[in-house]
């Protein structure tokens, strides 16, 4: 039982690392410094972008990671 949870914990850890690394930075390069983060038409539909999906996935995988960490701690 402990080995199976440890394997799931390791997979969640690796998946969390990959999901975080795939996300783009909030300010990308010189254009982000010049624009100052102004709202454009493209940022209004951010909920449908790949970065928004990755951000949501990060939250869920982090939650699973924390729960598995707590389970392993109490075993």
Full-model pTM = 0.68
Give pLDDT tens digits along the chain (75 positions).
899 999 999 999 999 999 999 988 776 555 555 655 555 555 556 556 888 899 999 999 999 999 999 999 998
Q: Rounded to whole angstroms, what are the CA distances from 59 to 4, 21, 40, 52?
A: 23, 14, 26, 11
Residue 1 lies in a domain: yes
User: Which residues have a Cβ under 8 Å from the Cβ of 45 and sit 6 or more positions away?
Assistant: none
Domain that holds residue 61: 1-12+50-75
Residue 72 lies in a domain: yes
Closest residue by Cα to residue 51 from 35, 28, 74, 34: 28
Count: domains in the chain: 1
């Amino acid at each position: 039982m402990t080995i199976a949870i440890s394997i799931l914990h390791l997979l969640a850890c690796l998946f969390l690392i990959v999901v975080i690394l795939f996300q783009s930075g909030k300010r990308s390069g010189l254009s982000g410094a010049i624009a100052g983060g102004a709202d454009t038409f493209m940022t209004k539909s951010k909920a449908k972008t790949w970065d928004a999906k990755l951000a949501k996935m990060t939250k869920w995988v982090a939650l699973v990671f924390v729960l598995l960490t707590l389970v392993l701690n109490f075993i």
